[in-house]
Structure 1
Amino acid sequence: MKTTPYLYLFTLLTMAACKKTPEGISPAYRELTEAVYASGNVYPRQEYTVTAEATGLIQQRLVNEGDSVRPRQLLFVLESTTESARQQAAAAVLRQSQANLNANSPVLAELDAQVRNARTRLSNDSLNYARFRELYAQNATSRAELERAELAYTLARNTLRAQQNTLQRSRNQLRVEVANNRSQLVTSEVAGQNTRVRSFVDGKVYEVYKDPGELVRPGDALALVGSGRRLYAQLAVDESDFGRVRVGQSVTLKADAYPDKTFNARITKTYPKLNRTDQSFRVDAEFVGNNPDAYYGLTVEANIIIRQRPRVLTIPKAYVVGMDSVWVEQNGQKQKIRFQKGTENFDLVEVRGGLTEQTKVVVSDE
């Protein structure tokens, strides 16, 4: 994209001079304001893509392109048998895990019985070990018999401890399973609620991508929504001019959709990343005063005001032929000549050489 610094004139005289007249015109000195040219598009603030968060068929589409919407307004209704089935399955799994945690559950009852059996065996082996110690003290049994009784007591004690740990670990694991299954149920319930898609902003529907009867999955785009009142211009400024642009500078914009209107804006943000495709930088401008209608992507041309120039020789842009030529009248004859062109704006071209205030520029015969 090739752009040059532009000039913008703020007088009614300039507007009148921009019209072609059969009699022709002469270059004139005028007070101009130097500006940087930019082009871009108009977009809404708070723009976002409405996406599906559940799998299902679109049962209802409650908005169309151009409709105004409010926050929390219902946009789409999905019919999802899958989410209902998942919710029922999650509820069944939660009930089963809660039953397993119950004191009378088969899982815990079996472990509890093993603990009781281990405790009984420990009691018996403890008594037996005590009896063999008394017998050994009375030299009524051998050392080997005492050690066997001691080993049996030790094993019984360790077995009880292990069974108790297993029972406690199982209870803890079942509690975790209950918590996880409850979370899964809540998630499935939320997913079921996601079959009702609502707006997040007070704005306007710019595009609808899906119709009733279509199958959608999580992440599928349903519509494009954005603010219907807060608009901004996203402009592209040539890298050779970007260094002259500052936040707060005034901007004048024109759009083909409004041939007789000019809009005012102000630079609110500049982006430091170069777009290598067209060698431009992005600049955002907020409208000041009147906004254009909320047409998404409306094409605009802009002049970013840099400084005023009190005396510049100019001709109307409409008289320029090609890049740098005009038709002039000399001695009653028309001829095409080239001139040294400077910067230009929507309506005027700066004359740096080749034409004077006495030159009569006429309408092209081409």
Structure 2
Amino acid sequence: MKHRWIWIILIIILAIVIWKVVVAKPEAGDNQRRPGGMMQAIPVELAPVEIRDMVERSTFSGSLEAKHKFLVAPKVSGQLQKLHVNIGQRVRKGDLLAQLDDRLMQQEYLRANAAVEVARANAGQAELSLELAFTELERTRELVERSYISQSEFDHANSQYAGALAQDSIAKATLNSALAALNTAELQLSFAKITADWSDDAEYRVIGERFAEEGSQLSAGTPIVSLMDISSVIAVLDVIEQDYNRVKIGQNATIYSDSYPDQSFTGKVLRIAPVLQESSRQARIEIEVPNIQAMLKPGMFVRVAISFQTKAGVQAVDERALSKLRGEQGVFLHDPESATVNFIAVKTGISSQGHVEIVDPPLSGEVVVLGQDMLDDGRKVTVQGRGEK
């Protein structure tokens, strides 16, 4: 008996729950109906259809590189005796950057210089001997013609002259070789002083990195420092195939950096890679950015907005106005006389600064920018606010 009452109570509770869920559930839309069955007006916010100038932009992520950068390395091996510059320092053409230990080079130079002096003396002696041999040859020629001496004596003088001529040639060649060795030693000695040099007319360069310390034993070609030109920097981007054909050399770009949140920089597209990387289907784009105050540094992460096209006097609406109804994209146009909205299918164009171009059809008045998720064509609305024009 006791169990039967428990079952009866459970059945009653279950019936009450079912009634609340199914029978007493309000019909969809009842909360939008006024007493008497009339649909309640939906609160919305409006914004005007505008005629404005629009610039189509796309934003890309990238990083900065120096406009020019190269490594400074010795042309000869040696110990780094003194490094005269450090990171961040400005240098001009001809400034001394580093000095190698040149004691052995100086000895080679002195040895080569002494060899030149010896060769020059030998060349002078050989030239004098040649002159004497020539004089003797001419004398014996005259005597043999007068039959004062024998032909063998003339032949001997001629042989002496030929030998002197050969010795003179050897002495001159030896002198030239010694002079070349001296020039080489002098050049090697000059390489011990490593100076700043570049081909363009830039006023200065900046030391970007330092790779060696004083006392290091360096081989020819071992980097010591890097020199950078940051009077302009290059923003390097990778753009996808969809945007590649829209980027053109000379297009304007605006550069933003987290280091300067309240400031932007301007640049122009400088170079466009002729190929896309097969692995990523992206192409390298380089944008030159003037950097007179040297605020931008190589390696910084940047966002770059490139202006693709500019349109003057186009019809536009707030981009929030775009919505979809039964699969069509359009806007809800407000009718102030009937306090209703009409859904208008639209064809859009470019987007810029929170607005979108309406290519077709022509519109006038105001469109819904907030609350359209609850709207349908012809629905009553009540205006709760208006966006800024």
Of 303, 307, 326, the residue aligned with 1:305 is 307
- The size of the alignment, in residue pairs, is 281
Cα 1:298/1:44, change in 2 over 3 Å: same
Cα 1:65/1:100, change in 2 over 3 Å: same
Mapped contact 1:253–1:303 kept (Cα < 8 A): yes
Give a deviation string over 1:312-351, Cα, whole Å, max 9, x none: 7746xxxxxxxxxxxxxxxxxxxxxxxxxx9999x97989
- In the alignment, what sits opposite 2:245? 243
Give a deviation string over 1:151-185, Cα, whole Å, max 9, x none: x66x965x766654553354344334323422432
Looking at structure 2, the residues matched to 314 and 227 of structure 1 have their Cα atoms a distance apart, in angstroms, of: 43
- In the alignment, what sits opposite 2:288? 286
Letter in 1 for 2:63: N
Moved more, 119-128 or 84-93: 119-128
Letter in 2 for 1:224: S
The residue correspondences of 1:106-125 to structure 2 (distance < 5 A) are 109=129
- In the alignment, what sits opposite 2:206? 204
Mapped contact 1:108–1:167 kept (Cα < 8 A): no
Looking at structure 2, the residues matched to 301 and 292 of structure 1 have their Cα atoms a distance apart, in angstroms, of: 18
Mapped contact 1:29–1:314 kept (Cα < 8 A): no
- In the alignment, what sits opposite 2:164? 167
1:216 aligns with 2:238: no
Cα 1:312/1:207, change in 2 over 3 Å: farther
- In the alignment, what sits opposite 1:56? 78
The residue correspondences of 1:20-169 to structure 2 (distance < 5 A) are 33-103=55-125, 109=129, 164-169=161-166
Gaps of 5+ in 1: 1-24, 132-148, 316-341, 361-366
Letter in 1 for 2:267: A
Mapped contact 1:69–1:204 kept (Cα < 8 A): yes
Q: Following TM superposition, by how much is the alpha carbon of 1:302 offset from its aligned partner in structure 2, in angstroms? A: 1.8
Mapped contact 2:133–2:164 kept (Cα < 8 A): no
Looking at structure 1, the residues matched to 78 and 123 of structure 2 have their Cα atoms a distance apart, in angstroms, of: 35
1:189 aligns with 2:186: yes
Looking at structure 2, the residues matched to 29 and 86 of structure 1 have their Cα atoms a distance apart, in angstroms, of: 85
Looking at structure 2, the residues matched to 173 and 276 of structure 1 have their Cα atoms a distance apart, in angstroms, of: 65
Q: TM-score, normalised by structure 1?
A: 0.59
Cα 1:175/1:275, change in 2 over 3 Å: farther
SS of equivalent residue, structure 1 residue 63:
coil
Moved more, 173-182 or 58-67: 173-182
1:231 aligns with 2:233: yes
Looking at structure 2, the residues matched to 292 and 253 of structure 1 have their Cα atoms a distance apart, in angstroms, of: 14
Question: Who wins on radius of gyration, i.e. which is larger?
Answer: 2
SS of equivalent residue, structure 2 residue 181:
helix
Looking at structure 2, the residues matched to 170 and 63 of structure 1 have their Cα atoms a distance apart, in angstroms, of: 53
Looking at structure 2, the residues matched to 285 and 160 of structure 1 have their Cα atoms a distance apart, in angstroms, of: 81
Looking at structure 2, the residues matched to 169 and 235 of structure 1 have their Cα atoms a distance apart, in angstroms, of: 70
Moved more, 237-246 or 209-218: 237-246
Cα 1:166/1:306, change in 2 over 3 Å: farther
SS of equivalent residue, structure 2 residue 298:
coil
Of 267, 270, 274, the residue aligned with 1:268 is 270
Cα 1:34/1:115, change in 2 over 3 Å: same
Q: Following TM superposition, by how much is the alpha carbon of 1:98 offset from its aligned partner in structure 2, in angstroms? A: 0.9
Cα 1:100/1:308, change in 2 over 3 Å: same
SS of equivalent residue, structure 1 residue 247:
coil
Give a deviation string over 1:188-220, Cα, whole Å, max 9, x none: 223323322223351321101110110123322
Q: TM-score, normalised by structure 2?
A: 0.56
Q: Following TM superposition, by how much is the alpha carbon of 1:74 offset from its aligned partner in structure 2, in angstroms? A: 2.4
Looking at structure 1, the residues matched to 159 and 47 of structure 2 have their Cα atoms a distance apart, in angstroms, of: 104
**What is the CA RMSD across the aligned residues, in angstroms?**
4.5
SS of equivalent residue, structure 2 residue 224:
strand
